[in-house]
Structure 1
Amino acid sequence: MPGGTDQTLRPFLWRAANLYPDKEIVSRTHEGIERYTYSEYDDRTAQLANALEAHGIEEGDRVATFCWNHHRHFETYFAVPTIGAQLHTINPLLPDEHIQYIVDNADDQLIFVDDSLAPKLAQAAADAPEFEGVDFVVMSSTETETLDATPYEEFVEGHSTEYDWPILDEDQPAGMCYTSGTTGNPKGVEYTHKMLWSHTMATLTPQGIPMADEDVVMPVVPMFHVNAWGMPFTATAAGAKHVYPGPSPDPEDIVHLIEEEGVTISAGVPTVWLGLMDYAEDNDVDLSTLDTVIVGGSAAPESMIRWFDDRDVELLHAWGMTEMSPLGSVSQLKGGLQDADYETQLKHRKKQGLTVPGIEFKVIDENDEEIAWDGEEFGELWVRGPWVTKEYFMRPEANEEDFEDGWLKTGDVVTVDEEGYIQIVDRAKDVIKSGGEWISSVELENAIMAHDDVAEAAVVGVPHEKWQERPVAFVVAGEDADTDTLDEEIMDLLREDYPKWWLPDAIEYIDEVPKTATGKFSKKDIREEYTDGSIVEGSVPEEAAPDDD
């Protein structure tokens, strides 16, 4: 039996194991390619469930993972929540002090860790009182020299492949993730079984990211980033084949898996696909099986959408947040746009899209009024729905600031067009206010990155005595770029679409745009490292400044 009739996770695996017992789960590991079936996976999750129970894990306990994308990590996705415990995925890219904080805040009892990440975890745990009483299991068949940890295969060995799955309440906490903590300590978000069930079902709709049993699904987005955007649950519910790219996959690894395993759907942040595009320019790449690429985390440049379109691969923009489990919107085309010309379709596909069924939203301006859906007015996006959290874990001060009457204040500044397509123009903390007007740093970044000789670009507002703030662009030039002429070429590109007061006061060249622990551009680091007041006169014409009128 599935283990209960409420909206819980167990029925998804029960269906996959019983209807698609021979469908494969493929995993790239340090030891090579591992593959087994849903039937064998079902047995392994039962063994892990028995092992967790034998270790003393009880209902309500939190079990953490510190891992890349692979089959053993996937086993925890169903074994931990469906015994009544809570799966807490930890981002290993966080600084030590944040890791210490969230292990303590979550009160983790057991941590599963990859061998390659054991040194990082050992460093965070060294002499840290937050780790007292925490046990470790290393995700391998052998011990690690870095941590006193039980090898995973030894941990599950000898345990029965049968388990009496309990009937759980749908409001039982099943998962937990923390925000990346760009300001202050990370904030914990709990997901109940009902939230993850609802998120999975909405994702499977045609307005979400639909998957079918003939699909081969490869989440490149890490499993510690909001459960790989829920894709392990969605692919299981669909009875699809899973492919996990393992530790730190490079473009060659990703291409090889697409070609060898016949991947049809994959997902990752834009930098993943930019790397694949660069690799494809110098190598013979076969993407013929690939139907859909999902891009989230930050906006995909228009050139990327066109590149995949040229290869008959649909690029879908998706937007969401840790607080939303995470899916909120997808850039699916409405029926009325299916026959529109390509440029009209592209105009909508570049946006973050339409909310998926179940999500309600409104956009509030500085006067606490809802904006018009005209594609021009700006405001902060507020959302609510069955898989949107209503509070942070043990953070009452953050709850007062970020929630109101059941609405989550996302902190994203957006416009909404007449069709209801949402476009994120900035984060509230990153929007540039110049001379009483708003400038979207995101729009400028995407426009600059459309230049063939630009690899990355981030735009931030710097203090200005007269205009309050002015935009400055931080650009990573391509290998063969001539920076002596690139300034003016970028400015010419921007002049085509933007008023002169939007144009950056300066273009500064840097080796790399700093990234957050989730792979997004870290404008906080840019401001701290570069905008120290030394940028007074820019490298672009004076005409970029706003008019006095």
Structure 2
Amino acid sequence: MPGGTDMTLRPFLWRAERLYPDTEIVSRTSEGIERYTYAEYGDRVCQLANALADLGIEEGDRVGTFCWNHHRHFESYFAAPSMGAQLHTINPLLPAEHIQYIVGNAEDKVLFVDPSLLEALEPAVQSPEFDQVKRYVVMASEVPETDLDAVSYEAFIEGHDTEFDWPDVSQDQPAGMCYTSGTTGKPKGVEYTQQMLWAHTMESLSPQGIPMADDDVVMPVVPMFHVNAWGMPFTATAGGSKQVYPGPSPTPEDLAKLIEEEGVTLTAGVPTVWLGLMDYCKENDVDLSALERVIVGGSAAPKSMIRWFNDQGVEVLHAWGMTEMSPIGSVAHLKSDLEDADDSVKVDKRSKQGLMVPGLEFRVIDDDGEEIDWNGEDFGELWVRGPSVTTEYFARPEANEEDFEDGWLKTGDVVTVDADGYLKIVDRAKDVIKSGGEWISSVELENSIMAHDGVAEATVIGVPHEKWQERPVAFVVPVEGIDEATVEEEVMEMLSEEYPKWWLPDDLVFIAEVPKTATGKFSKKDLRDEYADGDMFEGQAPEEAAPDDD
């Protein structure tokens, strides 16, 4: 296409600068609250682009960030891609060896790092994978004591022009990069082209995505290093929304204060974030009147939490996606013809992963390679394709052969689809429990257990069993102050009314916290590793661990 007509990110910045020059961007940093306007933001984006160009960053070079959610990180979101470079957000919670692999594999030329993360980065920097990094930039006004040869962000951009001669970047130019968490082997790199991020922004802006308008105040709590904070910085900019960035490791008190003082209307993150906020609000006088929507992803939200937020007038909206999808895939909006349905029907729809966003297609393939019927019962693996879905991994041909077929991404999620088209994740393919030759959905059990008001978190794994191959075991975090014996009795009674006896967990193990991955999801791998030998059953077979042969 001729220059200027391609689907790229820069017009979103142009729109915010020109139409909403006085709309604020607010940022909680280690140096205090910072606030400025889109007009000032645009000037600083140009300064950053000029500084990168002076450093020798060219089209196609990768700019790495090792940062939390704040305004300086946000400035890199438009500066690097709009000059033709590629923004590579790195998860600072990964092990040092993964960080070394990721930086070396991506060949990052410059690395931006938060002051609070210098200690985590320094051990990784000693490896040869970092040899190609030209400059370390600390996201602050001054550089704290560190072994790195670094410059502060403000010194890095100081004196540079507030205008930049933006090139006509092709829509096929890689604009972003994120690596999967690598729970099964080395992390896999996913590149996002300009067109992919443009398409994802437009999908999100649609009424059945996660729309953000000029009367919204948007606070991404989901980390900016995790799939671009679910694309929210791009969507909010395109919509002209006021943006609020909660900074490093925000506490429930920090989030409550920002919601109150900045009038946050929309926020997003994993369920544990909102459970913490809920508990804080119960103990403190917090004004949530401005808050309209809480977007939840990563794992299912407990129904008790959904009810509590609903009582405060706040809609909890489930979303589902993947790193490979930029990432939003589906959102649990109610169709218009369901608005007058019974509350039980509405709750059922909202508890699912929802409707595929406009622009994407999906199919569900069973073990025989056939598409399933949309009856809410048959299940298979979810395959997805569309303009915001990648078709290959970066430099990983062996993974490409396994995870892609004829342009379709094989997600690894096992799902059902009801007659209205609502997706429901039954399990990850690797997490389905096979007991006595029959399948048990760990996700279904988890969702049912978390529906109990005395349960804060719960996860279910298959533990090796001498007779039945695997048996489900539930790991439960009780609500503080709740009697564990009572919770166990009530949960098991509740499950026995919903599921056959062979589905029931053989044990409920109470723990202080469910292990989390580097992106905040439940880490079943850690629990599987701990209980891999199956000793907890002591050779005892449950009375009925599989259905009758007939």
- TM-score tier by shorter-chain length is over 0.9
- Aligned-CA RMSD value: 1.4
Matched residue, 2:320:
319
Q: Distance in 1 between matches of 2:523 and 2:252?
A: 23
Question: C-alpha distance in 1, partners of 2:140/2:162?
Answer: 19
**Counterpart in the other structure of 1:189:** 190
2:137 is paired with a residue whose SS is strand
Indicate yes or no: 2:345 matched with 1:355: no
CA–CA distance in structure 1, aligned partners of residues 53 and 114 of structure 2: 21
Kept in 2: contact 1:505–1:538 (CA 8 A): no
The alpha carbon displacement at 1:256 in A equals 0.5
Query: How far did 1:433 drift?
Result: 1.3
* Paired position in structure 2 for 1:546: 546
**In structure 2, C-alpha distance between the alignment counterparts of 1:200 and 1:408, rounded to whole Å:** 20
Contact map agreement 1:317 1:352 (CA 8 A) in 2: yes
Residues 454-500 of structure 1: CA distance to partner in whole angstroms, max 9, x if unpaired? 22211101122332211011122333232334322220121121111
Match of 1:247 in 2: 248
Q: CA deviation at 1:543?
A: 4.9
Matches within 5 A, 1:371-520: 371-520=372-521
AA in 1 matched with 2:132? G
Q: Is the 8 A contact 2:466 2:539 kept in 1?
A: no
Letter in 2 for 1:178: Y
In 2, Cα distance between the equivalents of 1:50 and 1:445? 50
Confirm or deny that 1:88 pairs with 2:108: no
Query: Residue 342 of structure 1 corresponds to which residue in structure 2?
Result: 343
Please show how residues 113-262 of structure 1 align to structure 2 within 5 Å.
Answer: 113-126=113-126, 128-134=127-133, 135-146=135-146, 147-262=148-263
Deviation at 1:535, TM superposition (A): 1.3
Structure 1 portions without partners, runs of 5+? none
Contact preservation (8 Å) 1:64, 1:88:
yes
1: CA distance between counterparts of 2:548 and 2:192? 51
1:156-190 superposed Cα distances (whole Å, 9 cap, x missing partner): 00001011111111111100000000000000000
Instruction: Report if the CA contact (8 A) 2:107-2:132 is conserved.
Output: no
Matched, 1:302 2:339: no
Say yes or no: does 1:47 pair with 2:47.
yes
Compute the displacement of 1:436 (Å).
2.5
| Cα pair distance change 1:400/1:347, threshold 3 Å | same
**C-alpha distance in 2, partners of 1:461/1:363?**
24
Shift of 1:544: 5.6
How far apart are the structure 1 equivalents of 2:196 and 2:209? 16
**Residues in 2 aligned to 1:211 and 1:483: alpha-carbon distance in whole angstroms:** 42
Shift of 1:377: 1.0
Contact 1:211 1:240 in 2 (8 A): yes
* C-alpha contact (below 8 Å) 1:4/1:166 kept by paired residues: no
Alpha-carbon distance between aligned partners in 2 of 1:362 and 1:548, rounded to the nearest angstrom: 32
1:349-407 Cα deviation digits (max 9, x unpaired): 00000000111000111111111111111111000000100000000000000000000
Q: Does the CA contact (< 8 Å) of 1:505 and 1:537 recur in 2? A: no
Q: 1:17 aligns to what?
A: 17
Q: Which amino acid aligns with 1:59?
A: E
TM-superposed deviation, 1:538: 9.8
Distance in 2 separating the partners of 1:273 and 1:467: 38
Residue pair 1:456, 1:475 contacting (<8 A) in 2 also? yes
1:333 aligns with 2:326: no
Q: What is the CA deviation profile of residues 172-223 of structure 1, one whole-angstrom value per residue up to 9, with x for unaligned ones?
A: 1100000000000000000010100011011100110111101100000000
The one-letter amino acid of 1:102's match is I
Partner letter of residue 448 of structure 2?
A
Would the aligned equivalents of 2:100 and 2:124 in 1 still touch at CA under 8 Å?
Answer: yes
Distance in structure 1 (CA, Å) of the matches to 2:225 and 2:360: 23
Instruction: Provide the rounded CA distance (Å) in 2 between the counterparts of 1:476 and 1:434.
Output: 25
Q: In the alignment, which residue of structure 1 is the partner of 2:110? A: 110
Total equivalences in the alignment = 545
Residue 24 of structure 1 contacts residue 242 of structure 1 at CA under 8 Å; is this kept in 2?
yes
Cα 1:547–1:5 change in 2 (3 A) is closer
Residue 285 of structure 2 aligns to which amino acid in structure 1? D
Instruction: State the 4+ residue runs in structure 1 displaced beyond 4 angstroms.
Output: 541-544
CA distance in 2, matches of 1:406, 1:11: 28
Distance 1:391 1:294 in 2: 28
Instruction: Give, in whole Å, the separation in 1 of the partners of 2:246 and 2:59.
Output: 31
* Residues 1:74 and 2:106 aligned together: no
Cα displacement string for residues 499-525 of structure 1 (whole angstroms, at most 9, x for unaligned residues): 111100112222221111111111111
Counterparts of 2:295 and 2:54, CA distance in 1: 40
Question: Structure 2 CA distance, aligned partners of 1:479 and 1:370?
Answer: 45
Residues 1:4 and 2:4 are matched in the alignment? yes
Q: Distance in 2 between matches of 1:547 and 1:395?
A: 42
Counterpart residue type for residue 70 of structure 1: H
**Could you tell me whether the CA contact under 8 Å between 1:504 and 1:544 is conserved in 2?**
no
**Structure 2 contact 435–545 (Cα < 8 Å) conserved:** no
Which AA in structure 2 matches 1:413? V
**Identity rate of aligned residues, in percent?**
74
Is the 1:453–1:481 contact (alpha carbons within 8 Å) kept by the matching residues of 2? yes
Q: Would you say the 8 A contact 2:320–2:353 is kept in 1?
A: yes
Q: Give the aligned residue type for 1:525.
A: D
Give the Cα–Cα distance (whole angstroms) in 2 for the partners of residues 470 and 499 of structure 1.
14
Q: Secondary structure at the match of 2:398?
A: helix
- The whole-number CA distance in structure 2 between the counterparts of 1:483 and 1:537 is 23
What are the superposed Cα offsets for residues 51-91 of structure 1, whole Å, 9 maximum, x if unpaired?
00011101110000000000000000000000000000000
2:308 counterpart letter in structure 1: W
User: Any conservation in 2 of the 1:453–1:477 contact (CA below 8 Å)?
Assistant: yes
Q: Which amino acid letter does the alignment assign opposite residue 132 of structure 1?
A: D
Contact 1:502 1:544 (8 Å CA) reproduced: no
- Name the aligned partner's letter for residue 243 of structure 1: V
Return 5+ residue gaps in structure 2 as ranges.
Answer: none
| Whole-angstrom CA distance in 2 between matches of 1:435 and 1:348 | 31
Q: Output the amino acid matched with 1:64.
A: G
Determine if contact 1:215/1:240 at 8 Å carries over to the other structure.
Answer: yes
Please give the per-residue CA displacement for 1:83-107, whole angstroms capped at 9, x wherever unaligned.
0000000000000010000100000
